[in-house]
Chains A and B, each alone.
Chain A
Amino acid sequence: MKNRREFFKTVAGAAAGAYIAGRGVPALAQRGQGGGRGGARGGGAAAPRGPRKQISIGGKRVTVIDVHSHCTVDGVAEVVKGTPFERQAGGRALGTDRIDLIDSEGIDIQVLTINGYWWWEIPDRALADRVVRAQNEGLAKWVSDHKDRFVALSSISLQFPDLAAQQLDYGVKQLGLRGATIGGHVNGESLSDPKFDPFWAKANELGVIVFMHPGGADNIVKDTAWKARGDIGNIIGNPLETTYFLSRLIFDGTFDKFPNLKVCGAHGGGYLPSYFQRTEVACDVRGNAMCANKKHPREYLKSNIMADTMVLTDEGLRHLVAEMGVSQVVYGTDNPLNWPVPVEMIVNHSTLTNDEKIQILSGNLMKLLKITTPATA
């Protein structure tokens, strides 16, 4: 419960306003015409309407796809009414302010996911299924109403792995969803546990992206460790949860079992891609590593694992691409939260080539999300 409170508190905190500090300065300054970031991002006041920003590279219009955004859908409230989960249904409803936001930021297509993952704590299978159904149908409806601008990933009841597989199958085949979103664990259990294989097998079979978003590493570190300045439950907890999650999938052999998996870790994939060396040699040098992986960890990093661009600095992004290969890195904003993630960080990057920028901004995702129409607006 604590974590969800933290999660929503964070949303409120973000709404309090943008602050310019240190290395964030140039990034934020470029957001000028977006305006109203604080208010609009909290889901309250309307952002001033501005023209839709269109991104070009080398004189050519390029499509920009944002892999990392958050939302909620209204239909869930009705489903959980009168249950212990009643208070957790909403918070980030989609509306015209979201379209204004992506217009102002130069995002042509946004990948929508619902997280917080509170529904994984629902012990009742039927209720869990109804919640996910409401989420997925709500997402599908929004996407259908705004076809050119959004795609969505399926929520799944991963506490019931067989049900999760069915939901993903239905979501992709019947509702037009493009993949699944998950957290770093389910009620503290590692997703490399064989009990989750039915879900992984389905994602593997469908060849769809799995977007992983952490929730503050509450499965790993006791809450008290995060009671400190710097919002370190988020700043350290989130990349930590992702690092642990990806480490388990590597070392427990999950990627060997399901070699088609494409798992995209939020926030630059946590620490793992940027600080890969320890993971890379663990099986070789640590006597108690008990590695089950069949391939060198580097091979998963360059094929199964993907990451969004949220390392937040020019040099950090250069390094991320150098470590993973450009095919594994995709633009992500964490919309509507307030991070210094303007598209200009990619467009004006100091070392990436134009081709690499285009791959990151949309090329990689168009293939994976099966988006066939480039932006023309």
Chain B
Amino acid sequence: MSNRREFLKSIAVAAASVGVAGRFTYDVLAQAVAGRRQISIGGKRIKVIDAHAHLSVPAVGAVVKGTPFERNGNAAPNQVIGPERIKAMDALGIDMAVLTQQGAWWYGVPDRELARAVVKTMNEGTAAVVKQYPDRFVGMAAFPMQFPDLAAEALEDGVKRLGLKGGGISAGFLADKEFSAPEFDVFWAKAQELGALLFMHPGGDTGAEAHLRGKGNLGNTVGNPLETTIFLSHLIYDGTLDKFPGVKICCAHAGGFLPSYMGRTDGACVRQPDACSGKKRPVDDYFKTQIMADSMIFREDGLRHMIAEMGVGQVVYGTDMPFPWPVNPDTILNNTLITDAQKEAILGGNLIKLLKLSAT
């Protein structure tokens, strides 16, 4: 609970302190310019798609009222989708965003029916936003990983009944269970069967929170990529990605540390063969096929490095909206180390193909 509280608290803090926090702010919401920016590369208009955008569904509040999760149901105002979000997207030149529920607090709901009701409300709320702005959003389904069969069901319901494009997942670390444990196979099998993209976003639960306090907001700067790194490492080393080769997972924040620091993962196999007995392929193979990452690397050489390690087809533009990070599309457009074709693939081309979206 402390983790989820921290997460929500940091959302509140981030929302409150935009413009006063830093020496320089990257406030996406405050960068509004008149009208909708249209982005072109080499004279050709391209569709810009943001893989990493947060939303909250206020209707969840009523579902958890009177339960221990009542406070989690309070939707963060800057994550409720409405004209403000559209304005922010217009200002940056984002044509479409992939909306995901984050925080994964509902993984802690012990009651099966309550968990089912929470994600149903979330997913119907997400679908309603998509219906309201069909040109601007697609949505990802939430599901309760503490009940793997129910998670599979919720993902299927989200995709088939509600038209969502996939699902959002957190590491969760449920009572020290990793999602590579066989009990979660029913979920991975369903994701594979549906061909649904999963967007993984850390939920603030690494087991390390107590030590990541202090200056530098380390719970976020270190904790978020750490959670993603642990999550992916289990799926790789335990052979989950081999068992379910059709599973595709796009990881937030440039995929955590692994895409930028991949050598040690296979280095482990040189040092200790037994440690790697559960995986079948060299580590980069997973990153070139099943693991994707958003572009939240900010630095020029960082993005070049990710493309070199993963292949450009695995990297997709992401902003973390509504949080303030330096993620203006110009950070991709102005990168001097990558080609126009790579920029186009990252800014929209890859997701147009993968999610079968209209190119215009």
Please count how many residues in chain B sit with their CB below 8 Å of the partner chain's CB atoms. 81
* Beta-carbon contact of A18 and B270 below 8 Å: yes
Q: Does A23 belong to the interface (CB within 8 Å)?
A: yes
Q: Does A279 belong to the interface (CB within 8 Å)?
A: yes
With A286-B14, A288-B217 in contact, is A225–B21 under 8 Å at CB? no
Q: Does B133 belong to the interface (CB within 8 Å)?
A: no
User: CA–CA, A16 to B23, complex, Å?
Assistant: 52
With A276-B299, A315-B308, A340-B267 in contact, is A282–B217 under 8 Å at CB? yes
Contacts of A28 in B (CB 8 A): 270
User: CA–CA, A313 to B282, complex, Å?
Assistant: 13
* Beta-carbon contact of A277 and B214 below 8 Å: no
Which listed residue (A224, A235, A247, A340) contacts B216, Cβ 8 A? Answer: A247
* Beta-carbon contact of B299 and A280 below 8 Å: yes
User: CA–CA, A284 to B226, complex, Å?
Assistant: 21
* Beta-carbon contact of A278 and B271 below 8 Å: no
* Beta-carbon contact of B214 and A13 below 8 Å: no
User: CA–CA, A221 to B323, complex, Å?
Assistant: 27
Q: Does A283 belong to the interface (CB within 8 Å)?
A: yes
Name the CB-closest residue of B to A287: B17
* Beta-carbon contact of A230 and B268 below 8 Å: yes
Q: Does A339 belong to the interface (CB within 8 Å)?
A: yes
Q: Does A274 belong to the interface (CB within 8 Å)?
A: yes
* Beta-carbon contact of A282 and B221 below 8 Å: yes
Q: Does A337 belong to the interface (CB within 8 Å)?
A: yes
B225, B261, B305 interface centre (most CB from chain A within 10 Å): B261
* Beta-carbon contact of A231 and B263 below 8 Å: no
Q: Does B206 belong to the interface (CB within 8 Å)?
A: yes
Contacts of B218 in A (CB 8 A): 244, 247-248, 251
Chain B positions 224 through 258: 1 when the CB is less than 8 Å from some CB of chain A, otherwise 0: 11100110011011100000000000000110010
* Beta-carbon contact of A282 and B216 below 8 Å: yes
Contacts of B273 in A (CB 8 A): 16-17, 19, 21
Q: Does A234 belong to the interface (CB within 8 Å)?
A: yes
* Beta-carbon contact of B221 and A278 below 8 Å: yes
Shortest C-beta distance, B318 to chain A (Å), equals 13
* Beta-carbon contact of B269 and A19 below 8 Å: yes
User: CA–CA, A374 to B18, complex, Å?
Assistant: 55
Contacts of B224 in A (CB 8 A): 278
With A22-B284, A24-B269 in contact, is A279–B214 under 8 Å at CB? no
* Beta-carbon contact of B237 and A230 below 8 Å: yes
With A284-B23, A286-B221 in contact, is A239–B275 under 8 Å at CB? no
Which listed residue (A20, A250, A276, A287) contacts B21, Cβ 8 A? Answer: A287
User: CA–CA, A19 to B13, complex, Å?
Assistant: 49
* Beta-carbon contact of B229 and A248 below 8 Å: no
Which listed residue (B178, B302, B323) contacts A228, Cβ 8 A? Answer: B178
User: CA–CA, A276 to B326, complex, Å?
Assistant: 13
Q: Does A45 belong to the interface (CB within 8 Å)?
A: no
Q: Does A268 belong to the interface (CB within 8 Å)?
A: yes
Shortest C-beta distance, A237 to chain B (Å), equals 10
Which listed residue (A14, A252, A322) contacts B271, Cβ 8 A? Answer: A14
Chain A positions 338 through 373: 1 when the CB is less than 8 Å from some CB of chain B, otherwise 0: 111000000000000000000000000000000000
Contacts of A247 in B (CB 8 A): 216, 218, 221-222
* Beta-carbon contact of B221 and A279 below 8 Å: yes
Residue ranges of B at the interface with A (Cβ–Cβ < 8 Å): 10, 13-14, 16-18, 20-26, 173, 176, 178, 206-208, 211-212, 214-218, 220-222, 224-226, 229-230, 233-234, 236-238, 253-254, 257, 260-279, 281-285, 296-299, 301-302, 304-305, 308-309, 323-326
Residue ranges of A at the interface with B (Cβ–Cβ < 8 Å): 10, 13-14, 16-24, 28, 188, 190, 217, 219-222, 224-225, 228-232, 234-236, 239-240, 243-244, 247-248, 250-252, 267-268, 271, 274-292, 310-313, 315-316, 318-319, 322-323, 337-340
- Closest CB pairs A-B (n = 3): A22-B282, A312-B263, A287-B17
17 additional A-B pairs beyond A23-B284, A338-B271, beta carbons within 8 Å, are A21-B276, A220-B208, A220-B211, A225-B176, A229-B234, A229-B277, A232-B237, A236-B229, A239-B261, A274-B257, A275-B254, A281-B298, A284-B22, A284-B326, A285-B326, A286-B14, A288-B13
